[in-house]
Amino acid sequence: MYGYYRVAAAVNKTVVANPHKNATEVLALIKEAHTKEVSVIVFPELTLTGYTASDLLMNQTLMASQNDAFQYILKNIKEINTISVIGLAVFEADRLYNCATIIQNGKVLGVVPKSYLPNKKEFYEKRQFTTGRDITRTTVDLLDVEVPFGVDLLFTDKKDMTFGVEICEDLWAVTPPSNHMASNGANLLFNLSASNELIGKHEYREELVRTQSARCMAAYVYSSAGVGESTTDTIFGGHAIICEYGSTLLENERFRMDSHLITADVDLERLRWLRVNESSYGDTRRKKTRVIKVDDLPELSTLERDINQTPFVPSCYADKKHRCDEIVNIQAHGLIKRMSHAHITKAVIGISGGLDSTLALLSTHRAYEIMGWDYKDIIAVTMPGFGTTTRTKSNAVELCEALGVTLKTIDISDISLNQFEAIEHDKDEHSVTYENVQARARTTLLMNMANKVAGLVIGTGDLSEIALGWSTYNGDHMSMYALNSGIPKTLIQYVIEYYKSNEKIADIIDDILTTPISPELLPHKGDEIVQETESIVGPYELHDFFLYHFIKYGAKPKKILYLASIAFNTKYDEDTLTQWLNVFLRRFFTQQFKRSCMPDGPKVGTISLSPRADWKMASDVDFEVWMEELN
């Protein structure tokens, strides 16, 4: 389903050295996973014997019992297409290997040996096992069947899933095998482990799994031995973790006494295309691998995953101060460098009382605060016109006064009327010409003011407007430094709200945040805004959602629509979502010519539309295939 796969990490109730009892628990978990539409489930290391069987692993009776129990599992999963990754001790060439067996529909697809054997302090695996790190391109006789054997095995459904398996200490090594698996296309990694519990170790373990998922640009599923293991010298907590590209999707509660599993839906299609879009993944060295085709997997009937409505906005509210400081400091230091390099001390900024100009002013103010520059050298210009309301103008004025900047007011009504007369446009015809004359008049005034005071015009347009082309060409489209160009509208609202901590401007910020977004270019009625941007181009929360998925990993329109239907399921119906996604696609493609000549501005998040950096696209691209895919 749109590249999503359900994966599971299972911790089975373990009885040390009793494979048949363990097999009963394992089989029950496999069946549970299958009913939950899980594609792949992973179990702890040495699943059927227990990791702490220790030297008994070299005993023929235990090995025979393990193989019988494994055969029992295979016979009972012939109709189960969920793939299971189970830990076995495998006897081959008079050596014993600590292995992962990959099974589906009653068949063994492959066997992967452990590469790195811990042999220090409480671990002494080299007593029993031989490393398998050099085993490639060979087979092993397992239950009288020759099956692929080696560390060079990957498994794929020939769609979006390719997975690899490593075992416990492999992850802790300087160069984990999963690095090579990922460089050869594995976007899903599994780890069977027997990591014991020490004070603070579980936190480090989670961090290790999470960061490895980020390094490999993959999903990583980890399962560790549980409390049924021996407690002779150490304790096992049964830690299960599922991560995706640097984020922990789910962890279990450790020290549970029962058999249990956790599941999460991972977006493997997204991971494949993120590798193309965002990294030097293509430069990683490939090794020879054997890729095993798996049978068809369970189909997901529903997606069990939260889809964030505002992907640009940090999800952890507790980190808000840190995140907002980061954003404003990026903006401020970008501006400091530009002004210092140009030996300019004055900043000229148009203030409307709206979100964008408010953030641009606040970030400019922060730059002056950092450098100890005089706030009076920030020249804020409010330029009321035919659509300016008392509410927005008063908010602009009060904000400037509270921040101690220089405030100038220039009414553009007469200037615009002169322009109408010059180009023979009827002032009562409220067309796009009527609007754009005002927008260009404001930009011209700012540019001329900057020349007069030897200042720099600060652009206020944001990433959302740049994506939609919602600006007047050579009007608000232009500036000398586009301070907000890397920040979408939803994130701007988030950052501005942070400034409410400043009591001097808290009430002003509150009113700005609740003011409808508007260019205020059409005459108002009774001092009320009549031109609301979101009723014309659509809600910015939707456009920011569309933009993120479209640019981040090149998602198809149908997938974007599907994800939006989940994220906004109680707010917008599918027809409304389709309507605005059509608008987004049409405007995004047709407005590239504005982005091709946009001014410099700092990149803030992972997405930028600067033609000099992140986004290069011809201005005359035909977008028919995207519209057809959606409609």
Both 364 and 331 in one domain: the answer is yes
Q: Order of strands across the sheet with 138-142? A: 138-142, 145-149, 107-113, 95-104, 83-92, 40-42, 4-11, 260-267
User: Among 114, 346, 489, 594, which one carries the catalytic annotation?
Assistant: 114
Separation CA 255–CA 253 (nearest Å): 7
Mean pLDDT computed over 75-89: 98
Q: According to the model, what pLDDT value does residue 385 have?
A: 94
CATH number at residue 200: 3.60.110.10
Q: Do 267 and 387 reside in the same domain of the chain? A: no
Tens-place pLDDT, residues 544-573? 999 999 999 999 999 999 999 999 999 999
C-alpha 466/C-alpha 484 separation (Å) is: 10
pLDDT (mean) for 164-175: 97
Q: Are 104 and 81 in contact (CB under 8 A)?
A: yes
The helix/strand/coil state of 243 is strand
pLDDT reported for residue 558: 97
Instruction: Please indicate, yes or no, whether residues 378 and 412 belong to a single structural domain of this protein.
Output: yes
Quick: pLDDT tens for 197-236. Answer: 999 999 999 999 999 999 999 999 999 999 899 999 999 9
Per DSSP bridges, beta strands 260-267 and 247-251 are unpaired
Mean of per-residue pLDDT scores for the chain? 96
Report d(CA 399, CA 397) in Å as an integer. 5
- Quick count: other Cβ atoms within 10 Å of Cβ 174? 6
Q: Which of 297-306, 370-379, 519-528, 610-619 shows the lowest per-residue confidence on average (mean pLDDT)?
A: 519-528
Residue 305 lies in a domain: no
Q: Which residues are CB-neighbours of 597 under 8 A, at least 6 positions away? A: 611
- Asked if residue 254 lies in contact with residue 238, where contact means CB atoms within 8 angstroms, the answer is yes
CA angle 504, 514, 356 (to 5 degrees): 75
Regarding whether 626 and 572 lie in a shared domain, the answer is: yes
pLDDT at 183 over 90: yes
pLDDT of residue 336: 98
pLDDT bin (cut points 50, 70, 90) of residue 320 is confident
In a domain, 13, yes or no: yes
Strand ranges inside 416-518, DSSP E: 455-459, 481-482
DSSP code, position 318: G
With respect to residue 312, please indicate whether it lies within any of the assigned structural domains: no
Asked if residue 319 has pLDDT above 80, the reply is no
pLDDT, tens only, 267-301: 999 999 999 998 899 999 898 999 999 999 999 99
Instruction: Please identify, among 229, 259, 293, the residue that sits at the C-terminal boundary of a domain.
Output: 293
Mean pLDDT in residue range 77-104 = 98
Question: What pLDDT score does 613 carry?
Answer: 86
Q: What is the pLDDT of residue 417?
A: 97
pLDDT at 582 over 70: yes
pLDDT score of 488 more than 80: yes
Residue 386 belongs to a domain: yes
Q: Domain boundary at 226, 259, 293, which? A: 293
| pLDDT of amino acid 530 | 78
> Which residues span the domain enclosing 537?
317-630
Domain annotation covers residue 337: yes
This prediction's pTM: 0.94
Query: Final residue of a domain: which of 238, 259, 293?
Result: 293
Q: Is the pLDDT of residue 502 over 90?
A: no
Any domain includes 309:
no
Task: Report how far residue 21's alpha carbon sits from residue 595's, in angstroms, rounded to the nearest whole number.
Answer: 65
% of the chain exceeding 70 in pLDDT: 100
Cβ neighbours for 421, distance < 8 A, ≥ 6 positions apart: none
**Same domain? 235 vs 376:** no
- Per-residue pLDDT, 545: 98
Q: Mean pLDDT, to the nearest integer, of 238-248?
A: 97
The domain spanning residue 335 has which CATH number? Answer: 3.40.50.620
Share of the chain above pLDDT 90, in %: 91
Split at pLDDT 50, 70, 90, the class of 317 is: low
Q: Which SS3 state, helix, strand or coil, does residue 305 take?
A: coil
The three-class DSSP label of residue 471 is: coil
Residue 314: band (very low, low, confident or very high) from pLDDT cuts 50, 70, 90: confident
160 and 98 belong to one structural domain = yes
- My answer on whether 387 and 467 are in the same domain is yes
Same domain? 371 vs 430: yes
> Given the structure tokens 């227990």, which residue do they identify?
50
Cα 380 to Cα 408: distance, rounded to the nearest angstrom: 6
Residue 46 has pLDDT above 70, yes or no: yes
| Contacting residues for 586 by C-beta, under 8 A, at least 6 apart | 623, 627
> Closest Cα partner for 101 from 56, 60, 62, 48?
48
At residue 529 the predicted structure's pLDDT band, cuts being 50, 70 and 90, is confident
Candidate list 45, 229, 269, 398, residue with the active-site label: 45
State mean pLDDT over 426-441.
96
Average pLDDT, stretch 65-81?
98
Residues 6+ apart with CB under 8 A from 503: none
User: How far is it, in rounded angstroms, from Cα 337 to Cα 610?
Assistant: 18
Q: Answer whether residue 465 shows pLDDT above 90.
A: yes
pLDDT at 459: 97
Give me the catalytic one of 168, 216, 324, 400. 168
Residue 30 has pLDDT above 80, yes or no: yes
pLDDT of 318: 64
45 among known catalytic residues: yes
CB contact at 8 A, 313 and 491: yes
The pLDDT score that the predictor gives to residue 519 is: 86
Same domain, yes or no: 614 and 530: yes
- Residue 592 and residue 578: Cα distance in Å, rounded? 22
What's the rounded mean pLDDT across residues 254-279?
Answer: 96
Is the per-residue pLDDT at 518 higher than 90?
A: no
611, 616, 588: which is closest to 600 by C-alpha?
Answer: 611
The pLDDT, as a whole number, for residue 524 is: 82
Residue 395 falls inside a structural domain: yes
Task: Tell whether 277 and 324 lie within a shared domain.
Answer: no
- State whether 152 and 194 are in the same domain: yes
Q: What is the total count of domains within the chain? A: 2
**Higher confidence at residue 532 or residue 485?**
485
Q: Please check the confidence at residue 65 and state whether its pLDDT lies above 90.
A: yes
Are 279 and 329 in the same domain?
A: no
222 in a structural domain: yes
Q: Please compute the mean of the pLDDT values over residues 109-129 and round it to a whole number.
A: 96
- Mean pLDDT, to the nearest integer, of 115-125? 94
- Residue 497 tokens, joined: 């709200």
How confident is the model over 497-504, as a mean pLDDT?
A: 88
pLDDT, residue 278, reads: 85
Asked if 293 and 163 touch (Cβ cutoff 8 Å), the reply is: no
pLDDT for the residue numbered 315: 75
